Chains A and B, each alone.
Chain A
Amino acid sequence: MERRLQQLFFALSILALVLIVAAAWQANTPSWKTYQHNFLQLEAQGEPNAVAKAAVLATPPEIHQVMLTGLQRVDRCTTCHLGVEDPTMKDAPEPFRYHANLGSHIPSKFGCTICHGGQGLATDKEAAHGKVAFWPNPLLSNDYIRASCGRCHKEGDVPGVPELTEGRRLFESQGCRGCHKLNGVGGSIGPDLTAEGANHRAPEWLEQHFLTPNAVSAGSAMPNFHFTREQARALTYYMLSLTSEEMGSYYSSVRVIPGPEYGRKLFEEKNCITCHNVGGVGAKTGPDLMGVTTRHSLEWLDEQLVNPELVYPGSSMPAYDLEPNARKALVAYLNSATPADIQLLLAHKNHPLTPEDVGIEAGKADFARFGCAGCHGTELQGGVPNPNAQGGEVPSLLHLSDDYTKDEVIAVIRNGRAPPLDNTAGPTPPLYMPSWKKVLSDEDINRLADFLWSKQEKKKESW
C-alpha cells in the first residue's frame, strides 16, 4: 500500500509536469506568432542581401497595439495586419495587405475597430473579427463599412458616402422624430435612436426593418413608409452611424478644427436670418449679431446655442440640436460675418419674409423638426395605417378648420389625444397623438397652429 501510494505520488508529479508544460506550450504558440513569422518571410523577400534578410527575420514577435485613450479603445489588429501602413504590401495576401485610400485616417492614429467593428483587444482571428459569443460588435461587411464615416463626420456631406447624407435627409423630412428621439428631441412611441448604432443590430436586420417593419419585428407600430431599397440602405447607414460616442470631437481634438465655412452653411440651413440680422441686414426679431463675439465670451455663446432659456431667461430663441463642433463653427462664422455676406445669403432666398411668414416658417420648421410628418405625412395628407383607430389611419391635417377651432387644435397638440376607436371592443391602436406641452412652448405651439391654418384647404361648397 505504502509503495503504491509513493508510486501514485510520483505518477501524479509526472502528470503535473506534463500539464504545466502543455499549458506553457499552448500559451507560447498563439496564432498571431505564425502570422508575424509569415509576414517577416514576406518582408525578407524584398530585402536585397542576406544580412538584411537575416536582420528582418530576427525581429522578435510582439503584440502591436494602437491606444485610443480618449475613446477607451485598444486595437491590436496590427499584430497580424502588419502591412496596413506599408504601400509596398499593396499586392500582399491578407492579412498583410496595405490599406489603400485611407487619406489622413492612418491606422496607427485612428485605430481599426472604430470603422470596421470587431474586437480590438483580441489576438486570435475569430475573436478579433468578433464572430464569437458575447462580442456584439462583429466586423461590418463591405456593404456597410462606409456607414462608419458618419460616426465622426456628423454634419454636412461625407465625400464618397452619399448614403449618409440621404439617410439624414430622409430622417428629418419623413418625420421619424415624431416617434423616435434623437439626441433628446423627438417622440417616445418608438425607441430612442440616439445610440442605435451602439446596439449592434445586424445591418441586414435594419435594412429589412425599413423595407417591411413587421417582417423582422412582429407587431411593430412602425408604419411601412414604402421606402425604396436605396432609401432603406441610406437610413441603415445613418442608423449604424449613431453611436453617441463623442468620436468626432475626439479626433478633431487631434486634427480637424471646425472653420467658418461650415458655420456659414449652418447659419443658412438653420435660418438664423429669419430672426437675426447682421449690421441691420436681416430680420429684427432677434438681436443684431454684428460683433456678438466681442460682446460675449465663447463659453457664453456656446451655452446660448445649447440652451438659450438658461443664459437669457425669457429668450424666444429655440434650442438648436447642434453638436459641439457645429457650435464652434457657427461662432467662428459669427466672428467674421459681414452685412455684405448676409446680403449674399438673402439673395438666395426668393422673397422677403413678413413677420407672419416668419411665424409660419418657424411652425413649418417645428413640424419637420419634431417629426409630425412621420404620421401626418410630409404634405399633411395623413394616411399612415393605425389599426382600429377611426378611419383606420392617422387623419389628414388639411381639413382641420372644418371641424375644429384653432384653440381646439392647440389644445390637442398641447395635451395629446388617444384616437377614437373604430371598434370599442378592439385593441388599442398603436399610434396616438403625444402631448407636446413639455417639449414645445405655447409660442411654438401657436406657430405650429398658424402653419397648419396656412395649409387648410378651403371647403368647396358655398351658398
Chain B
Amino acid sequence: MNLLQEIWQSIVRRDSLSTDKGKSELVFLNVWLHIHPAKVKKENMKFRHSFYLGFITFFLFLILITTGIALMCYYRPYPPQAYQDMKDLQFVVFMGPFLRNMHRWAAHGMVVCVFLHMCRVFYTGSYKKPRQFNWVIGVFLLLLTLGLSFTGYLLPWDQLAYWAITVGTNIGSYAPLIGGQVRELLLGGHSVGEAALLRFYVLHVAVLPSLVILLTIVHFWRVRKDGGLSRPVWKLKPERETLVTIGAPAEAAPLTVKASTTKTYGLMEVVTGKPIFETVSAEEEEDTVFSFPYAFVREAVTLMATVTTIMVMSLFLNAPLEELANPAKTPNPAKAPWYFLGLQELVSHSALLGGVVAPALMVLALIAIPYIDRNPSRRPRDRKWVLWLFTIFVVANLVLIVIGTFFRGPGWALVPPWVHVVGGAE
C-alpha cells in the first residue's frame, strides 16, 4: 500500500486536493494545467460574459485533429483515388461516415465559433490595452481557420470540391501584380489538378495546423499573462488604485506598479513590471476561487457539450459527396464554400474591388482596430459609435453570405430560394 502511494505521489507530486496548497500545486506543477492561474476570478468565468466561445473553438480544433489523423489513414491525395477513398469511407470503412461527418461539422463549427468569438471580444472591448496584439493574433487565427476549411474543401475531389476551389482560387488571382503567381503557387499549375490536390493536402494536414497550434500557444499564453479572461463589463469599477513604489534590482530604477491594498508582490511582478492581476481590490480578492475545481469543471462541461453536439450532428447529418470532379462540366451555379460566398457575391459585382480591395481592407481594418480605437473605456455607453460600426460590418458580411448562399441561382442570377429553377446546367 505504501509503495502504491509512493508511486502515485511520484506521479502527481502534490498535496491532497482537499488542501489549498494541493489545489494550487495541481495547477502549478502540471505542464498541461499550468496555463491556468491557480486561482480565477469568479466573475470572469461567467458564461454570459464570454459564452466560452474560445474554449469551444479550441475543443473543436482538438476534435478536428483527432478525426483528421484517423481519416488520413484512408486517404490518398491524388485523383481519382481521393474520390474512391471517400466512397470507401462511406461504404466499407467501419464508422467511416461518422468520423468524416464529425470532421466536417467540427470544421464548420470552428469557422462559426472563431467568428462569434471575435465578435464577443469586440463587443466586450477585450482587445484594449494590454491585449491589442492578442487581438491581432486572433485575426490571424481566423484567417488560418478559413484557410484550413478552404484547403480541406478540395480533398474529397468531387464536383462540389473541385468547383468551389476553382472559384475560390480565381477570386485570389484578381490580386494586382501577384494574383496570378499566387494562384500558380497554390495550385502548382494553371488549373485545379493533381498538383493542386497534393499542395492543398500538405497545407491542410501539415502547414496550417502547425501554424494554428503555434499561434494558439501564443494566444493562450498572452491571455494568461494578461490576467486570464477579461473582466465582464458589468464588473468594471471606477479606477481608484494607488500607485506604490516597490524595491527593484540594484541598478534599475524603482518600478512603479499599480497595486491594491491587500496584495503583496513577488519577484515575477517586479521583473515584468506589472502585476499578474490587473487591479486587485479587497472585495475582488474575495471574488477569486481556486481553478480546481471551479474552472476545470466548467471547461470539462464545455468540452463534453461540444463533443456531444458534434456527435449528434454526425449521427443524423451526412457530409455531402457529389459526383467525381469533372473539369469538363461546370455545375451551374458554381459556388465557393459558404464562408466565401460573401466574397463571391462581391466579386460578381467587381473582381478587383470585391475580390481584392474589399477583403484586404477588411483584414487590415480588423488588425488595426485596437490601434485605431484608442478610447480606454470598455463600457458600451462610452463606445456607441464603434459598436454600431462593427455591427454594420458584421451584418453586411452576413447579408452577403446569405444572398450568395440562398439567393443566387444558375448564372449567378438573383433567384429567391423558394423558386425552383429547372435544368440549370444544360
Does chain A bind chain B?
Answer: yes
| B residues 151-184 in Cβ contact with A at 8 Å | 158-159
CB B80 to nearest CB in A, in angstroms, measures 7
Task: Let me know if A134 is at the binding interface, CB within 8 A.
Answer: yes
**A121 and B91 contacting across the interface, CB-CB below 8 Å:** yes
Partner of B323, one of A8, A9, A135: A135
Interface status of B95 (Cβ within 8 A of chain A):
yes
* A16 close to chain B: CB less than 8 A: yes
* Closest B residue, CB atoms, query A7: B301
Given contacts A23-B98, A134-B322, contact A16 B301 (CB under 8 A): no
B311 at the interface (CB under 8 A from A): yes
- Across the interface, do B297 and A76 meet the contact criterion of CB distance under 8 Å? no
**How far apart sit A8 and B300, CA to CA, in the bound complex (Å)?**
10
Q: Which residues of A contact B297 (CB under 8 A)?
A: 2, 5-6, 9
Residues of A within 8 A of B87 (CB): 119, 121-122
A23 and B304 contact, Cβ closer than 8 Å, known pairs A74-B84, A121-B87: no
Chain B CB within 10 A, most for which of A9, A122, A136 = A9
Q: Which residues of B49-100 have CB atoms within 8 Å of chain A's CB atoms? A: 80, 84, 87-88, 90-92, 94-98
- Chain A residues with Cβ below 8 Å from B323 are 134-136
* Chain A proximity mask over B290-321: 1 for CB below 8 Å, otherwise 0: 00011001101100110110011011000001
Query: What is the total number of residues of chain A having a CB less than 8 Å from a CB of chain B?
Result: 30
CB atoms of A19 and B312 under 8 A apart: yes
> A130-158 interface mask toward B, CB cutoff 8 Å, 1 = contact, 0 = none?
00001110000000000000000000000
> What separation, in Å, do the CA atoms of A2 and B307 have in the docked complex?
21
For the A-B complex, the count of residue pairs with Cβ-Cβ distances under 8 Å equals: 68
A241 is an interface residue with CB less than 8 A from chain B: no
On chain A, the residues within 8 Å of B298 by CB distance are 5
Most buried by A among B97, B298, B304: B304
* B308, A16: Cβ atoms closer than 8 Å: yes
Min CB distance, B160 to chain A, in Å? 9
Q: How far is the CA of A72 from the CA of B87 in the complex (A)?
A: 14
A27–B98 touching, CB < 8 Å = yes
A114 at the interface (CB under 8 A from B): no
Complex contacts, A72 vs chain B, CB 8 Å: 80, 84
- Residue A127 at the chain B interface, CB threshold 8 Å: yes
When the two chains form their complex, are residues A2 and B294 in contact, meaning their CB atoms are under 8 A apart? yes
CB distance from A70 to the nearest CB of B (A): 14
Q: What residues on B are CB-neighbors of A15 within 8 Å?
A: 304, 308
CB of B330, distance to nearest CB on chain A (Å): 15
Interface of A is mostly: helix
B304 in contact with A122 (CB, 8 Å): no
How far does the Cβ of A151 sit from chain B's closest Cβ, in whole Å?
19
The answer to whether A20 and B311 touch across the interface, beta carbons within 8 angstroms, is yes
- A13 B304 Cβ-Cβ under 8 A: yes
For residue A174, CB closer than 8 A to chain B, the reply is no
Q: Chain B 94-114, CB within 8 Å of chain A: the 1/0 string? A: 111110000000000000000
Closest partner residue, chain A, to B91 (CB atom): A123
Chain A residues with CB under 8 Å of B159's CB are 134
Tell me the minimal C-beta distance from A127 to chain B in angstroms. 7
Taking CB atoms, residues of chain A closer than 8 Å to B301 are 5, 8-9, 12
Question: In the complex, how many angstroms separate the beta carbon of B273 from the nearest chain A beta carbon?
Answer: 37
Taken together as a complex, chains A and B put the C-alpha atoms of A24 and B93 apart, in Å, by 12
Interfacial chain B residues near A76, Cβ < 8 Å = 91-92
With CB as the reference atom, state the residue of chain B lying closest to A136: B323
> A63 CA to B87 CA in the complex, in Å?
14
Indicate if A28 sits at the interface (CB-CB under 8 A): yes
| Whole-angstrom CA separation of A462 from B418 in the bound complex | 73
CB-defined contacts of B98 to chain A, threshold 8 Å: 23, 26-27
A23 B315 Cβ-Cβ under 8 A: yes
Q: How far is the CA of A119 from the CA of B301 in the complex (A)?
A: 43
Closest residue of chain A to B102, judged by CB?
Answer: A23
Q: A22: CB under 8 A from chain B? A: yes
* Cβ B91 vs Cβ A12 within 8 A: no
Q: Which residue of A lies closest to B81 (CB)?
A: A72
| Bound-state Cα–Cα, A373 to B174, Å | 49
A19 contacts B91, C-beta separation under 8 Å: no
CA distance A68 to B59 in the complex (A): 43
User: Is there contact, CB below 8 Å, between B94 and A27?
Assistant: yes
The smallest C-beta distance from B68 to any residue of chain A, in angstroms, reads 18
Complex CA–CA separation, A121 to B90 (angstroms): 9
Instruction: Collect the chain B residues with CB atoms within 8 Å of residue A2's CB.
Output: 293-294, 297
Question: With A2-B294, A9-B297 given, can you name 5 additional A-B contacts, CB distance below 8 Å?
Answer: A16-B304, A16-B307, A23-B315, A27-B95, A124-B91
A sample of 21 cross-chain residue pairs with beta-carbon separation below 8 angstroms, ordered by A number, consists of A2-B293, A2-B297, A5-B297, A5-B298, A12-B301, A12-B304, A16-B304, A19-B312, A23-B95, A23-B311, A26-B98, A27-B94, A27-B97, A28-B94, A72-B80, A121-B87, A121-B91, A122-B91, A134-B321, A135-B323, A136-B323
